Amino acid sequence: MNRFFLLTACLLGITFSYAQDDLLSELDSTQVSDSYATAAFKGLQIVTLQTTKMPAKKEVYFVVSHRFGTVKDGFSEFFGLDQATTKIGGVYGITDWLSVSASRHTLLKVYEAGLKYRVARQSADFPVDIVGYNTVDINSLFKKEDYPKIEFSDRLTYITQVLISRKISEKLSLQLVPSYIHKNLHNPALENNNQFSMGAGGRMKLTKRLSVNVEYMHNFDKPDFYTNPLSIGLDLETGGHIFQLLFTNSQAMTESGYVTNAAGDWGKGDFFFGFNLYRVF
Amino acid sequence: MKTRFLEFILCMVFILVSACFYGQKYSTRTGNLKFEASMSSFEEVAAENKTASAVLESSKGDLAVLALMKGFRFKVALMEEHFNENYVESDKYPKASFKGKIEGFDASKLSTDAKSFTVTGELTLHGKTKKVTDVAKISKAGDTITIIGGFDVKPGDFDIEIPKLVSKKVSEKIAVTYNLILSK
């Protein structure tokens, strides 16, 4: 019988100590976690390309961006600051996975309308975020007086991009961007009306509120006299503002101009300074 | 062999009985936690977590509460993102927990009229642990015990840095309130 008491005492001791220490660990096992990776990117753009970040439902982003003239022209043009081009626009989140945007670009007097929609989110069960991005550019530069036969459809350019991103670590996120651009109006002697390109970008956080971003697009249908866009930027986030300072060899801010009409050449010191400024309401 | 078997059965019975008497546990998985760090004349900085879990060991008054940081919901989505990314670093420190004791707790003396009890314990948040003490109102109706209370915390105590740029908009003293409805 001694053995029996000893054993019971031991086991009782175990239950007691278990009950005392493990109230918290008992709770641990009952928690269900929300496993989506959040904030792969701080801003809606890496540099000029879109990121997989979506505005939240009912959020309004106000956007002002500038790309200045080429730095190459030196002091007489104040390193490009004399020739600013501007984009002004807004983005609205209809739901957490769907947003619409509209903007006006001074370059080629383009009106741009866009649709961005999230298809998949990175989580413990799925490796990447997938977002679709479509825009239509309306070129309002051509005047009816100069081109009497121009139709409205001639002014249109369609852009379709798939954005695939992965938040690799807390600091590093990478993104792939396959892109297809269709131009209703083009010069067949110079370029294709359908242009495919593939690009990649990423961000590296330096501090909690500061990151370095890089992006590159390779255009497979590019004529020789254009280059492929390569851009580097710095994200600064301050509460409701996101400020992106950048250098790029492609001055345009529409996807079509940015990807298919890059004219600068980093090797020749021919690049552009610019910034994107976002205010979130 | 027979006595061994008997010993084993007796043993099991003892343990079961003791566990039954001992384990007077009340728990919830839908505990409510709120905090507010608003400054007057600036945007509201407040969040609510409706999925905190808690367990009360009623025979001793031991209380444990656990909440996921990503379970805190703000009115402004961007604020929620910044809370998780920049302030509490939810990917690194996904949980906040409290482990403590309700002093002088006696379940049999509780009634539907709330009584005040002193709760002391350790709050762990952002990888840092700090002692907190507050007074909670506790009531009991049937098999349900309700614990309501609140306390103040300082972000600095938990190594949560508030940048100078927003220091006017985020209070240095954050009011935390809780409402736990625990059942058997």
**Is B63 part of the contact surface with chain A (CB cutoff 8 Å)?**
yes
**Can you tell me the mean pLDDT for A23-29?**
75
B90/chain A closest Cα distance in angstroms: 10
Give the pLDDT band of residue B178 (cuts 50, 70, 90).
Answer: very high
A206/chain B closest Cα distance in angstroms: 13
Can you give the pLDDT at residue B13? 67
- Mean pLDDT, chain A, as a whole number? 90
The answer on pLDDT for A19 being more than 60 is: no
Contact B165 A208 (CB under 8 A): no
A56/chain B closest Cα distance in angstroms: 6
Can you give the pLDDT at residue A137? 96
Residue A178 near residue A169, CB atoms below 8 Å: no
**Can you tell me the mean pLDDT for A86-111?**
96
- In this complex, which of A20, A30, A56 lies closest to B29 when CB atoms are compared? A30
CB hemisphere CA count around A239 (13 angstroms)? 13
What angle, 0 to 180 degrees and rounded to 10, lies between the N-to-C axes of helices A2-21 and B2-22? 30
Q: Is the dihedral of CA B68, B69, B75, B77 positive or negative?
A: negative
**Can you tell me the mean pLDDT for B74-93?**
90
Chain B contact set for A59 (CB, 8 A) = 77-78
Chain A contact set for B169 (CB, 8 A) = 239
Contact A4 B10 (CB under 8 A): yes
Domains of chain A: 40-280 (2.40.160.40)
The answer on pLDDT for B41 being more than 90 is: no
If you ran DSSP here, which 8-state letter would residue A50 be given?
B
Residue B176 near residue B152, CB atoms below 8 Å: yes
Here the tokens at position A181 are: 């651009």
> Which residues have CB under 8 Å from A21's CB, separation 6+?
none
Can you give the pLDDT at residue B102? 94
Can you give the pLDDT at residue B167? 82
Can you give the pLDDT at residue A53? 95
> Which residues have CB under 8 Å from B113's CB, separation 6+?
B139
The answer on pLDDT for A60 being more than 90 is: yes
Residue B160 near residue B12, CB atoms below 8 Å: no
**Is B102 part of the contact surface with chain A (CB cutoff 8 Å)?**
no
Percent of chain A past pLDDT 70, that is, above it, reads 90
Give the pLDDT band of residue B42 (cuts 50, 70, 90).
Answer: confident
Can you give the pLDDT at residue A1? 56
Can you give the pLDDT at residue A238? 84
Residue A109 near residue A139, CB atoms below 8 Å: yes
**Is B64 part of the contact surface with chain A (CB cutoff 8 Å)?**
yes
ipTM: 0.76
Can you give the pLDDT at residue A153? 93
How far apart CA A154 and CA A138 sit, in angstroms, is 9
pLDDT digits (tens, 9 = 90+) for A226-259: 999 999 999 998 878 899 999 999 999 999 999 9
Give the Cβ contact number of residue A113 at 10 Å: 14
**Can you tell me the mean pLDDT for A38-43?**
90
Q: What CATH class does B24-183 carry?
A: mainly beta
Q: CA end-to-end span of chain B, whole Å? A: 40
CB hemisphere CA count around A191 (13 angstroms)? 23
How far apart CA A232 and CA A43 sit, in angstroms, is 14
User: Could you tell me the residue ranges of all domains in chain B?
Assistant: 24-183
Contact A27 B10 (CB under 8 A): no
> Which residues have CB under 8 Å from A8's CB, separation 6+?
B10, B11, B14, B15
